[in-house]
Structure 1
Amino acid sequence: MENGTGHAAGADAAPPPGQLLTGKQEHYLKRELISLQVRDEIAELNSPTALRRFGAPFKSEFGEIAPIDSDLPILRFIFVDHVRKFPFLDQAKEEEFWQDKLQTFLELFANKHISSSEDRHEETKRRKLALKCEKLVELMMVSGIPTASGYEERIRFSEMEVVDRGANEQGLLVNIPEGHFINGWDVNVASVRTTLVKRTVRYHQHAEFILRVRQQGKPDRYVGRRFGEFAKLHKRLHTELPGKILPPLPRKNKSSSVSSTLLGTGDDDASSVSSVSTQDVNLSEEPRSSRNLTVKQPADKRSSSRSSFHRVLKSPRASSEIVAEPVTLYREEQRVSLRAFLRTLLQNPRIAESKAVEEFLTANPVTLNEEELMDIQRRKEMDAKRIEEQRQFYEIARKRAQELDVYMEQFRQDIVENNGLTKLFQEIRAKQSVEELSPQYQKFAEWLRIEVAATIYHLFLAEDNSPELFAQAKRIHSLVPYTLMKNVIRIANPAAVMSGVLDLFLAQPFGSRSLLQRIFSLTIHDGIKTFQKSIDGLSIKIDDVVLVNKLRAFTAADEEVKNEIRQEAKDDDVDIVVTVLRSDLIEPELSPAQIEKVFNSYVAWVNAVENVDTEMHQGAQWFAYLKQLLKLLTRQRDKSMMLSIIEEPVTLQLFRDLFTIFYEPLVRVYKSANVYSSITDFAEFADDAIAVIERAQRQDVSADPNQTVQAFIDLCARHQHSFYKFVHEVHLHDNGLFDSLMGWLEDILHFLRKGPRGGGKLDMNALFRGAIGVGQIDAELAIREIDSLVKWHEDRKKWHHDKTRQKMAAEGAGTGVGAVESVPGSATFKGSDFGLDEADLDDLAIDDAASNTSDEDSADDELDPIALERKRRSKQADRLRRTAGEPVKPEVKEILKLRESFGAMLRMVLAD
């Protein structure tokens, strides 16, 4: 199976008796052929005629298509066995819904030929979604359909599991607030001081946050920033990066904390920090000894104040004597939340590279005095004690959860066995309280209380942004009119309300467009007009109507013509703009002078992008206008196509049907279960949770963490009956809905665990033997190709594992305070419990990491086209650097000859 170094003995092992292929060879041959089949089927969905070759319930001019004759056997199996059987959709009528509405809509969409990733030179959301679906479908088929031999085997590395487990156990390390870089910056809001700023006559006090900024190869830098400067940074980023979604700026918080430093002359460990929240500190009444004070003169010159900290008078003492010195840490909660805000910003490479961030973190550095350095040290101690408190909380919660492992293992086995989920929910329906449940289910409830308690603690106490999040939650809770909501929901008939709303938005009086169509159309029209303004501006800069019209004609051309031009551009390795403008397939034709200008500007473009010749910038800029124009024309056509789809009657009918199919059953459950009564229960839980969190904020850090853990667990215990009552009532009055959902889930789990219901298996050895017998493949060459695939998967796993370990080592502690693991107990379920092999899940993670690309930034549209092209190439170079050393997938040709016979076998297995 595996040798001592962790490398699989794999392809070198002899096949089992009577078999041509080893366990690894047949698994990775199966995986490769399934992967190719899935890729082809998903790509085929782009065809307008794909559903007509799909089979029932979709109509076809070829008549009824048997499962064994479907061109899309995998997708058809998933649709018929899982999608169509999904509760709600299982009631949809074949002809009225699936054919007349859904099929008509999807074929209508496919015929519009909305632009692809290749057209736009960017990764579209549809392309990313298709890649994700492709990998998930492949995982489902590879895990669910077994081989006939029973010897199927995956590559595993034993040391992977050790390192991954160690990484989870060391999750607390990510809490260390210093010594790690985020996109080139290591930033800590290290201290807070007060400044006096003279405006007219009087001096005004302001808090100034001291940032410690570190960059690779440069000395540490300290800068002082007031809260208003953080707000200006936020506003400037909105201006510099229009369209970029930014994290919200924390609200101003004047809370301070008290640090009690315990000093002893002979015991280095005799120090601890306790924090007491003092809300809305009045600065005028705050002792001067509790904070730093810097006077900011009108000329912005700062002078250090005299010492404002209590000093320990060193007198002869016994080594065990300890002196407590309380010091107010001014605006401590604001400091921590601003640190979280900055680090969240820096997580985005585009923001981290922005001019606004660079100036904010580097402009006007300051020199710190002794008192400010002492304050930084105290803040470090506070961070360290906060981390220690979190570690103790999670350690105690973990131990309590582990005490339930024996019961959780029994619960896991009950769920994993056949109909386990159905049995669980049948018990919930039958028993009216948690105390009446079976012992293993009661223990599961106890385990859940610990998990929920840890989650609440993690969200509202453990993270840098917890104070801000807690303040927002309190604010929202105080504004929600729970009693009014309860009475409205109790009296109102939601089915009638939604029916009226649907009629209002979807009605088409006298055949005119509905209100919903008008709203969508208005929005899309605005987008089309915006594009047209930009197109008109570029047309003026290009100053050639013929070129503009030819590019416009290309975007409106038939798909066959577009594909021919795209292939020509790919074959000649030139930009699509050049190919379009020189093509005879698109009218009008260009004059020799125009063609020469286009080619010269293209050469200038290439040189300018590669920074070869700055003197050719003018010609490059002209070609850049052509590229930008084609992109805008393509997007404008997309919006026009979307507008035409929205105005189709079938779109409106499909929307109404989908809403009715999913909404009406939920409304029936909602009314019969008296859901409105749970609103009061939730309000009471929120009140109680706020009180518990505030007590935990006020308590001494050195308090017994067992009390903290128990306080949050008791919070959950006090309200578990209300939650259980809600779940029980919903299941009691669900009219069989939840039974249907559980049955649907268990059908999927049955496939993953045991394969298709008919018991079909893929006999890879018979497939291979048959191909050899008829001379379809060269056996020796095919075996070499399979072995090369096994070796590639093995090398790729090892490469990904080593790269992950190197990344963890390079990043060190992580990204900031508060990133502690929130799950206290050991993992309860494994992928294998649901029929998913852990090695297949590892492969999915590797594929996902390899195909993962950063989201396209809407602000990129505002960039100069040359700068945008440089950025695109830079991203490609970054991707190449990230994948440096990744084993290259070997080219296979011989085993591809098995695809047709494998497809026939796959149809037989899935059609049973």
Structure 2
Amino acid sequence: MTESQPAFPGDQGGELSQAVAPPPGQILTGKQEHYLKRELIARQVRGEISELNSPTALQRFGAPFRSEFGEVAPVDSELPILRYIFVHHVRNFPFLDQAHEKQFWQEKLQVFLESFANKHVSSSEDRLEETKRRKLARKCEKLVELMMVSGVPTASGYEERIQFSEMEVVERGANEKGLLVNMPEGNAINTWDVNVAAVRVTSVKRTVRYHPHAEFLLRVRRDDKEEFHVGRRYGEFVKLHRRLRTEFPGKHLPPLPRKNKSSTTSSWFGSSADDDASSVSSLSTQDTSLPEDGTGSSGRTLAPGGTHKRSPSQGSFRSAKSGRVSTNVSRETVLYREEQRVSLRAFLRTLLQNKRIAESKSVEEFLTAGPIKLNEEELLDVQKRKDMDAVRIEEQKRFYEIARQRAAELDVYMEKFRRDIVESNGLTKLFAEIREKPCIEELSPQYQKFAEWLRIEVAATVYHLFLAEDNSPELFAQAKRIHGLVPYTLLKNVIRIANPAAVMSGVLDLFLAQPFGSRSLLQRIFSLTLNESIKDFQKNIASVTAKVEDQVLAQKLKTFVEADETIKNEIREEAETEDVDIIVAILRSELIAPELTPEQIEKVFNGWVAWNYAVDNVDLEMQQGAQWFANMKQLLKLFTRQRDKAMMLSIVEEPTTLQLFRDLFTIFYEPLVRVYKSANVYSSITDFAQFADDAIAVIESAQRQDASADPNQTVQSFIDLCARHQDNFYKFIHEVHLHDNGLFQSLMTWVEEILDFLRKGPQGGKLDMNAMFQGAVGVGQVDKDLALTEINALIKWHEDRKRWHLNKTRQKMAAEGTTETIPGSATFKGSDFGLDEGDLEDLTISDEASDSEDEATEDDEEDDPIASERRRRVKKQDQLRRTAGEPVKPEVQEILKLGDPFVVMLRHTLAD
């Protein structure tokens, strides 16, 4: 091995930046090979996915799609990567492998996709917002890039990635993060630190009698200011929920927990001197019934004018006055409306996670209006609730620790199980054994241990969902109500007797039939929905057009939206080149009639200037012109969306769309129905009902237990629950695999083929990056030194980016207190399936950057477009601050000249 040399100029040394010199006869080192391959593959993937927008893309794709240019050979495909994935991992997918080449792929799917591409539905750039198609395309791009970079090796065998010896950073699991969310103190969310700290009883006089009501005491802290308390009844939470629905129409809000009057019994450790003091607490009395005189157990009343009156605390600290010695005792305490308290805390914290809601006036008034000062009894109850929260958190930690310890005891067997799965055809062998063995006891030892490990995981999940979270009581109550409503016996008999294939065939005929060539029922339903939407857009367009007060300008925007795509692209390029708003570029363009008068052009420019000024400044000096320009932008968006609806309507009206829908439904539904009938799935409904009954009993028993009960018993009760029903669950899986007519076998084969590609690469060979590079240098196509400089700059950028991400991750974990690892939690690794850990980490970094961009470009529907644009720009600045310090990718030019020879080599490699 030759002496190592710095990978690039200015290197500071260390494991990360050293590279082994290239072997004799080769120009590129292992790192240079890998990152050159990565860059060229990334650009090829990006180009191929964007090319799918072209109406002629599938004609240049190759078989099974038809082409006007004749049969396209694999080595001639202009989309070699997508063609390979389609042929090897899409077309042979179980279900789709039975589709006819001409009837399905060419006459239906290809016609539909080409028709959709010809409609030119608006993109993210048109709407100034992220569309779902854009986000999906970006995710697909990264996954395809990961698959090709990891799956297609280089010929030299020296391919090398940047490695961090200290990169073994493992975050806590979701359970530990959940515990942090439940912490009653120090949990600030969007500047609000809120805890439902206690519950007191107030009495309101109605006519003659006093009526007791529970009032929840909220401890509120904001921006490190001094904390204060406010009292809110359940009805005020209901009013808050209604106000938010009015203030944010269409915004998804968490459901308000139902009223829950149950109390929680717990052992509370204190001194004997506290006995009498606790007896006067409205929240800790042995008897949960309330006095009918309206005073409540706290002796607190409401005067007719609405002010609180306090009656004397009877016998408070009596034992202390008598000189009785204080000793630590354990006494039973009833915490009034405890489950409701933690449910409402979860509700508030879920609300506050949305920044707009957290900054709303409704939330601010709810959390700040009418602060109160707590008396001694209420302070004592706050402390008891705090102690109860601490006990609950500690119990959860001990539960997960015990569960982890039990799972860790199975690590030896899990390692054997992992090796069995990772090796060749491991998944096929696993499901073959499930098919052959009728019960768990007959499985191989490592599979039995896997079942035991799975029991622990399921037990922990059930515990976490229905006991550990603040919203667990509400979730459990909902699950229990739904379980009580489902008619399992009736459902079982219906499924047992009915023929779902015949039923669905009849339903399809009903909705898709086209009598005498008229539109089908499904087409009429879609048309009705889309036409209503188009009419709604037209009403909004008329309203905004009236505000613009210029029909010529409005008509020109509409002409642009309906213009040919080449004209649109030319105007968009002009707007980007001259750095003007797209509205200005459209209205001044001579490519779209009619031409504007000088006065109209002046009005447009003045409106644009006012718009920018009003967005960047808070004052209202140029508000009128800015509002006019905002209406123009809104009008363009409305015209664009209305055209999209019209294009979708035309696609629905095409007969090919219905035929494709019927074929897809038949292809995927019929095989599953055959399995469903032959495996007697209906018998498992009774098994599920029994499991639900048993789970409810176990959860209710755990709820009744003392909070200081032995967590070992709690863990064991949930594991026993899973053990009692595991045989029924295994019987269901066994029956399905036994009568699957080869369906699951073909699914496993399909998965194994993907894993084989990731582990071994394509059968067509490997990428000889050195030969390609030497060939390009030899003919003078590429400047060797300049190309190597660019490759080394890319390596330096990847290294700096990894280090930046590592430091950012450590800072985040340190801030959240999530630096510990979970023993035994990582059963499988990416390398087990042929995915390099370094490539996976690069995908994670890219995903985080992408998600950050999505958040920054998220469009909010607002009545005030100026405020919406101002917020959009603020979000963009926030995103820039979050990525502050992130290394900037260097511009490359010379290595792009390798694109053509690389694609030729890639085609031959993937042509099998």
Counterpart of 1:873 in 2: which secondary structure? helix
Higher relative contact order (CA 8 A, sep 6+): 1
Residue 549 of structure 2 corresponds to residue 543 of structure 1: yes
Among candidates 471, 474, 481, match of residue 477 of structure 2: 471
User: 1:382, 1:292 → 2: CA distance?
Assistant: 20
Equivalent residue, structure 1, for 2:869 = 869
Counterpart of 1:188 in 2: which secondary structure? strand
Equivalent residue, structure 2, for 1:363 = 369
Equivalent residue, structure 2, for 1:817 = none
Aligned residues of 1:244 and 1:858 also touching (Cα < 8 A)? no
**Range that drifts further, 697-706 or 571-580:** 697-706
User: 1:75, 1:54 → 2: CA distance?
Assistant: 8
For structure 2, the residue ranges without an aligned partner over 5 or more in a row are none
User: 2:172, 2:454 → 1: CA distance?
Assistant: 22
User: 2:455, 2:55 → 1: CA distance?
Assistant: 51
Q: Cα deviation per residue 1:333-354 (whole Å; 9 max; x = unaligned)?
A: 0110111111111122222222
The one-letter amino acid paired with 1:176 is M
Change (3 A) 1:618 1:294: farther
Matches within 5 A, 1:304-343: 304-307=310-313, 311=317, 313-314=319-320, 321-343=327-349
Aligned residues of 1:257 and 1:331 also touching (Cα < 8 A)? yes
Change (3 A) 1:79 1:402: same
Equivalent residue, structure 2, for 1:57 = 64
Equivalent residue, structure 2, for 1:80 = 87
**Range that drifts further, 181-190 or 474-483:** 181-190
Aligned residues of 1:255 and 1:277 also touching (Cα < 8 A)? no
User: 2:337, 2:464 → 1: CA distance?
Assistant: 22
Q: CA shift at 1:7, angstroms?
A: 5.5
Q: CA shift at 1:610, angstroms?
A: 1.0
Among candidates 473, 481, 490, match of residue 484 of structure 1: 490
Q: CA shift at 1:667, angstroms?
A: 0.4
The one-letter amino acid paired with 1:209 is F
Q: CA shift at 1:788, angstroms?
A: 1.1
Aligned residues of 1:6 and 1:156 also touching (Cα < 8 A)? no
Residue 694 of structure 2 corresponds to residue 688 of structure 1: yes
Among candidates 773, 778, 794, match of residue 783 of structure 2: 778
Counterpart of 2:489 in 1: which secondary structure? helix
Residue 106 of structure 2 corresponds to residue 107 of structure 1: no
**Range that drifts further, 771-780 or 728-737:** 771-780
Residue 595 of structure 2 corresponds to residue 596 of structure 1: no
User: 2:31, 2:58 → 1: CA distance?
Assistant: 36
Counterpart of 1:804 in 2: which secondary structure? helix
Q: CA shift at 1:756, angstroms?
A: 1.1
Residue 836 of structure 2 corresponds to residue 837 of structure 1: yes
**Range that drifts further, 697-706 or 383-392:** 697-706
The one-letter amino acid paired with 1:642 is M
Equivalent residue, structure 1, for 2:220 = 213
Equivalent residue, structure 1, for 2:528 = 522
Residue 724 of structure 2 corresponds to residue 724 of structure 1: no
User: 2:121, 2:446 → 1: CA distance?
Assistant: 54
Equivalent residue, structure 2, for 1:804 = 809
User: 2:567, 2:422 → 1: CA distance?
Assistant: 54
Matches within 5 A, 1:354-433: 354-433=360-439
Q: Cα deviation per residue 1:293-329 (whole Å; 9 max; x = unaligned)?
A: 543334432344544897583477889x432333321
**Range that drifts further, 322-331 or 384-393:** 322-331
Aligned residues of 2:120 and 2:565 also touching (Cα < 8 A)? yes
Q: Cα deviation per residue 1:16-42 (whole Å; 9 max; x = unaligned)?
A: 444322222211111111110100000
Change (3 A) 1:572 1:766: same
Equivalent residue, structure 1, for 2:747 = 741
Equivalent residue, structure 2, for 1:147 = 154
Aligned residues of 2:856 and 2:876 also touching (Cα < 8 A)? no
Among candidates 262, 270, 273, match of residue 269 of structure 2: 262
**Range that drifts further, 664-673 or 341-350:** 341-350
Aligned residues of 1:213 and 1:221 also touching (Cα < 8 A)? yes
Counterpart of 2:167 in 1: which secondary structure? helix
Equivalent residue, structure 2, for 1:761 = 766
Change (3 A) 1:676 1:594: same
User: 1:654, 1:78 → 2: CA distance?
Assistant: 22
The one-letter amino acid paired with 1:780 is D
User: 1:263, 1:2 → 2: CA distance?
Assistant: 69
Aligned residues of 1:244 and 1:859 also touching (Cα < 8 A)? no
Equivalent residue, structure 1, for 2:123 = 116
User: 1:636, 1:798 → 2: CA distance?
Assistant: 47
Aligned-pair identity in percent equals 73
Q: Cα deviation per residue 1:28-69 (whole Å; 9 max; x = unaligned)?
A: 111111110100000000101100000000000111111111
**Range that drifts further, 679-688 or 856-865:** 856-865
Change (3 A) 1:857 1:599: closer
Counterpart of 1:771 in 2: which secondary structure? helix
**Range that drifts further, 326-335 or 50-59:** 326-335
User: 1:278, 1:474 → 2: CA distance?
Assistant: 29
The one-letter amino acid paired with 1:474 is K
The one-letter amino acid paired with 1:762 is L
Residue 717 of structure 2 corresponds to residue 711 of structure 1: yes
Q: CA shift at 1:259, angstroms?
A: 3.5
Equivalent residue, structure 2, for 1:133 = 140
Counterpart of 2:748 in 1: which secondary structure? helix
Residue 235 of structure 2 corresponds to residue 228 of structure 1: yes
User: 1:305, 1:134 → 2: CA distance?
Assistant: 70
Aligned residues of 1:600 and 1:619 also touching (Cα < 8 A)? yes
Residue 234 of structure 2 corresponds to residue 190 of structure 1: no
Aligned residues of 2:558 and 2:639 also touching (Cα < 8 A)? yes
User: 2:489, 2:287 → 1: CA distance?
Assistant: 31
Equivalent residue, structure 1, for 2:660 = 654
Q: Cα deviation per residue 1:537-577 (whole Å; 9 max; x = unaligned)?
A: 11111111111111111111111111111111111111111
Change (3 A) 1:438 1:12: closer
Counterpart of 1:223 in 2: which secondary structure? strand
Q: Cα deviation per residue 1:745-769 (whole Å; 9 max; x = unaligned)?
A: 00011111111134x1112222222
Q: Cα deviation per residue 1:223-263 (whole Å; 9 max; x = unaligned)?
A: 11111111111111111111111111111111111333222
Q: CA shift at 1:189, angstroms?
A: 1.0
Q: CA shift at 1:701, angstroms?
A: 2.1
Equivalent residue, structure 2, for 1:201 = 208
Q: CA shift at 1:829, angstroms?
A: 0.8
Q: CA shift at 1:131, angstroms?
A: 0.5
Residue 708 of structure 2 corresponds to residue 702 of structure 1: yes
Q: CA shift at 1:435, angstroms?
A: 0.7
The one-letter amino acid paired with 2:884 is A
User: 1:309, 1:137 → 2: CA distance?
Assistant: 74
Q: Cα deviation per residue 1:470-490 (whole Å; 9 max; x = unaligned)?
A: 000100000000000000000
Aligned residues of 2:19 and 2:31 also touching (Cα < 8 A)? no
Among candidates 795, 798, 806, match of residue 800 of structure 2: 795
Q: CA RMSD in A?
A: 2.8
Aligned residues of 2:217 and 2:232 also touching (Cα < 8 A)? yes
User: 2:537, 2:300 → 1: CA distance?
Assistant: 52
Q: CA shift at 1:855, angstroms?
A: 5.8
The one-letter amino acid paired with 1:365 is P
Counterpart of 1:211 in 2: which secondary structure? strand
Residue 443 of structure 2 corresponds to residue 437 of structure 1: yes
For structure 1, the residue ranges without an aligned partner over 5 or more in a row are 815-819
**Range that drifts further, 653-662 or 322-331:** 322-331
User: 1:60, 1:277 → 2: CA distance?
Assistant: 79
User: 1:881, 1:892 → 2: CA distance?
Assistant: 26
**Range that drifts further, 563-572 or 206-215:** 206-215
User: 2:511, 2:311 → 1: CA distance?
Assistant: 67
Q: CA shift at 1:693, angstroms?
A: 0.7
User: 1:10, 1:643 → 2: CA distance?
Assistant: 57
Q: Cα deviation per residue 1:246-303 (whole Å; 9 max; x = unaligned)?
A: 111111111111333222599xxxx9xxxx99999644589989x5454333443234
